[in-house]
Structure 1
Amino acid sequence: MLARGLSLLDAFLAGDTELGLAELADRSGLPKPTAHRLLGELVEWGAVERSRPGHYRLAGKLFRLGQLVPRHRQLRQAALPFLEELHATSGENVHLAVPDDGYTLFVEKLSGTESMVVGSRVGGRMPSHCTATGKVFLAWGGRERLRRVVDAGLPRLTPRTIVLPGLLHQDLERTLARGVGINHEEAEPGVSAVAAPVRGARGEVVAALSVTGCSQRLDVERLGRVVRAAAGALSARLPALAAGR
């Protein structure tokens, strides 16, 4: 029964803010009567709320629980000064992301003061193969992670999205060589981004910092150096945090 209830919550992972009963039942694979009954229990517990008749959205209790995840909370707190510096330097949207299966999960975002609005949001996920942060996770994440992403399919989000495994492999080799992941209008038309890896105490890539903005004015080469410096400084800070200093 718990697994069935969680499958209803999983239905929101695609990024929808509101879903109807029929859509929830379809995505979870549950019969409508079962989905309706379980949704009533989730509403009572505080995980979801009724947005309008027959429609549901996630409720604040899940947000409060999410803020208590120690690894993400500590990482976000450590990264915030570096994100703020990137934000002030670039004037663009800046992100902190972590790998989440075949996706990149955004755990913090500062919107640019003069930049265009982009579709990312805190708690939102995007496919790894077409995002700058996701390419960081694929490039440094080993063959198994890349294999899982390729086997799951490479959906096309824009005309520039890389959907052929061979071309993606070449792009990830370039990512390793230059030390940053670059997304040029592959996730959203007119939007580009550059991201750099954040390393943990053992040298493994645990997160990524990125700068995102309008393709026509985003200086990827200059900002690539800036974001690499910020990610390197954050990486140097993480072992001290892990040791409790």
Structure 2
Amino acid sequence: MLEAFTPAAPVHTLSGIARHTGLPLTTTHRLVGELAQWGALERDAHGAYRIGLRLWEIASLAPRGLGLRELALPQLSDLVHVTGENAQLAVREDLSVVFVERLAGRGAVPVLTRVAGRFALMPTGVGRVLLAYAPPDVQERVLAGPPARCTPETVCEPAVLRQLLAEVRRTGVAICERQVTLDSVSVAAPVHGPGGDVVAAVSVVARAGGVQPHTLVPLVQIAARGISRSLGADPVPRPAAGVTGRAPADRSGTATHR
């Protein structure tokens, strides 16, 4: 019933909820009343329903949500201040990336992501980082699934994607250019938890062609290490000397996948 509410449809009538769930109207009326009484739903002046603040209160207790966001906010704010671009923090939930926070500088390139929104793993910088450090079975499920093609430039070939994931593990950074929108480039790095596992990813999303992606790499990595320290992680070794964080050359010979 709660899944009927989406960013595209945040408000529903009682009959609309019944149609979405396939439940009888009388049953829907009873359940919606219980949810509204508890605070999970709120009724507006026109009699329609929207998600209530009680769910936000409960969701704020998720350790990978608000707590992680609060620890990361200083680093994300610094990224926006220095770059003037979008700074994002995300975690993996099964085969999707979930955005915990996004801050945008004035004049930053528009992005399709939103806080608490889900997106495919492979096209996004944060998603590619999270997938690179995910268990092998998760990687195989993503590679075996339907390709998440967002633009004509989105890399979808499993063999190439395997190379890209290996490159992320080698360099500690992902560069995704024109993969989600044709006017954006994302530079992302992993955030480590106390046990050394990758628990999140941080990125800067800038306008493609307006900045050289490799110039953003050290800034994003510094932010990722700062968030990792806030989480209690041990110092993470830097990539070997000479590693710039550039993606491997694609079939057209360019340095990043466009």
Q: TM-score, normalised by structure 1?
A: 0.81
Gaps of 5+ in 2: 235-258
Aligned to 1:127: 120
Whether the aligned pair in 2 keeps the contact of 1:15 and 1:125 (CA below 8 Å) is no
Which of 162, 171, 177 aligns to 1:178? It is 171
Displacement, 1:145? 1.5
Q: What is the one-letter code of the residue matched to 1:118?
A: V
Q: What SS is found at the alignment partner of 1:183?
A: strand
Whether the aligned pair in 2 keeps the contact of 1:18 and 1:55 (CA below 8 Å) is no
Does residue 220 (structure 1) correspond to residue 213 (structure 2)? The answer is yes
Q: What is the one-letter code of the residue matched to 2:137?
A: E
Displacement, 1:38? 3.2
Q: Give distance in 1, aligned partners of 2:177 and 2:18.
A: 36
Displacement, 1:17? 4.5
Displacement, 1:133? 0.4
Which of 142, 148, 157 aligns to 1:155? It is 148
Alignment of 1:196-211 (within 5 A): 196-211=189-204
Identity %: 37
Q: Give distance in 2, aligned partners of 1:25 and 1:188.
A: 36
Does residue 87 (structure 1) correspond to residue 77 (structure 2)? The answer is no
Q: Give distance in 2, aligned partners of 1:235 and 1:55.
A: 43
Q: TM-score, normalised by structure 2?
A: 0.78
Q: Give distance in 1, aligned partners of 2:145 and 2:49.
A: 28
Structure 1 window deviating more from structure 2 (91-100 vs 227-236): it is: 227-236
Displacement, 1:53? 6.6
Structural RMSD (CA): 2.7
Whether the aligned pair in 2 keeps the contact of 1:47 and 1:58 (CA below 8 Å) is yes
For these two proteins, the number of residue pairs brought into alignment is: 232
Change in CA separation of 1:215 and 1:51 when aligned onto 2, cut-off 3 Å: farther
Q: Which has the larger helix fraction?
A: 1
Q: Give distance in 2, aligned partners of 1:69 and 1:207.
A: 14
Does residue 116 (structure 1) correspond to residue 99 (structure 2)? The answer is no
Mark the structure with the bigger radius of gyration.
Answer: 2
Q: Deviations over 1:133-175 (max 9, x none)?
A: 0000111112111123234432322222233322321221222
